[in-house]
Amino acid sequence: MRFNIKLIIPVFVLLVASTGCKKSYLQTTPYDGIDLSIAITTEADLKAADIGMYNAMRSYLAFGRYLPAKGDIMADNTYCSSTNTGRENTTYNVYSFTPSTAVAGSVFNQLYIVIKRANQIIAATVPASATVNQYKGEAYAARALSYLELVRNYAYPYSSGANNPGVSLVTEFFKADIKPARNTVGEVYTQILADLNQAYSLMTVYTSSAYFSKYAARALQARVYMDMADWANAKTAALDVVTNGGFTTVASTSYVAWWAAQNAASANKQEAIFSLICDATGNNGNESLSYLYYQAGSYGDYVVTNSLYNLYSATDVRRNFIVKVKRGQDSTWSSVKYPNSLSSNKDNIPVLRYSETLLILAEAYYNTTDPTNALLYANMVAQKRDPSFTGYTSSGAQILEDILTEKRKELAFEGERYWDLYRLKRSFTKVVDQPQGTTLSIVLPTTRGSRFPIPQAETDTNPNTSQNSEYQ
């Protein structure tokens, strides 16, 4: 892969608060640039590199907006209002991508920027210590997450065949003119799992939800095994988080307030396993995810489908996140799950939550022929959110449908719905313009646009890579 160096050279924090083991830094620390030729030789250098890595992840070109937005608007949860600001939502809304589409190129470049920053940390020759191991473990986890998003977005799902073209694996720091071919989907998943095992073994420090931790790596591993339909290992990883991670869910009476307060790092292990923190100095401003949802004073391009709203009962606390609004001439639903778009401290970006892990565990039990535990863990989430709900009592294949429905309700507007439909190769009706009744019939993963094209700039400069077949 021949990287565009202007896009790949990372920006690292130069000013750090201390060099001690306790990570007292957040994104409030001023940051500037550091040349890649400067070696990382101290724990302070690693700290700076670590912050720079998280900063790249938070970018609106990756986890800060483009990725979580796609997971709902290309599914059946949201659609783009006809009154919109013309951002990437218009291409997402109708599956309209070409090799030159900006969003596909931006996500690709930004994820490889994160990988390059992680590779620099992993390659550092600073003497080992608990702190150094923690930083390196976080880098392995960040690289694993970035490769998961790359292989999800630019390749067919694992269920379509492990030998299909995936994405190029780059695991060494800064070889200036490499042009690798695409690795297979299976090879990419193997690397992801190896990175997460390394992350799990290296990390021992838990500071807050702002940073990867040992059990964040395990929660991500459960998601990866779920994608692979390796249900025995998905169960093992999720159970490790549930049994040993110390995380808890949020009571129904506190759930709405909990989301409103998600503009700071949390150390109480309540619900948030790993989030990208957006504070007064480190945020995406009007390019944030919340700006696309929130109506008052924001863009509000994304509106909510009737089918999602109708899933919530009147006593389900999550129904409070969807309100009726007037958008242009249309009366429609809007999400207020991210209410801080106009405040100085913006809404955090949830990446891994405890409720997701519980629902992965429920699906793993279902697929390992244990319906009792499948319902048990699904109801841990469902009854926590709706105190009036007596719990799912289904049997057979309906158990899986109930788990997926619960996951859809719980993780709405967090970007995971599309990937459940994608890995299961589902067909569904995509709402394009709800008041006018415009829809698309989507068959995953074969409908054109289901996966991103490899960016034109990449295929132009790297003769060893290949374009996805539908874009040739």
Sheet of strand 78-80, all strands in order from the earlier edge strand to the far edge: 78-80, 302-304, 330-335, 322-327
The tens digit of pLDDT for each residue in 148-166 reads 999 999 999 999 999 999 9
pLDDT at 333: 95
Task: Give the C-alpha separation, 211 to 209, whole Å.
Answer: 5
* pTM, 2 dp: 0.91
The tens digit of pLDDT for each residue in 334-364 reads 999 999 888 877 899 999 999 999 999 999 9
- What CATH number matches the domain at 5-471, 3.30.70.2740, 3.40.50.720, 3.40.50.970, 1.25.40.390? 1.25.40.390
Match 């949802």 to its residue by tokens. 293
Extended beta strands in 269-424, E state: 272-276, 302-304, 322-327, 330-335, 349-353
Task: Write the DSSP symbol of residue 346.
Answer: P
Cβ-proximal residues to 22 (8 Å cutoff; 6+ apart), any chain: 207
The tens digit of pLDDT for each residue in 296-311 reads 888 999 999 999 999 9
pLDDT at 107: 98
pLDDT higher than 90, residue 21: no
Residues 174-188, mean pLDDT to the nearest whole number = 86
- Within 13 Å, how many C-alpha atoms sit on residue 350's CB side? 23
The tens digit of pLDDT for each residue in 212-260 reads 999 999 999 999 999 999 999 999 999 999 999 999 999 999 999 999 8
pLDDT higher than 90, residue 330: no
SS3 of 261, please?
coil
pLDDT at 151: 98
Which residue from 243, 204, 409 is spatially nearest to 317, judged by alpha carbons?
A: 409
pLDDT higher than 50, residue 8: no
Which residue from 136, 115, 125, 118 is spatially nearest to 40, judged by alpha carbons?
A: 125
Residue 202's Cβ-count burial label (10 Å; 0-12, 13-18, 19+) is: buried
Backbone phi and psi for residue 429, each to the nearest 5 degrees, phi listed first:
-100, 120
Task: Give the C-alpha separation, 434 to 305, whole Å.
Answer: 7
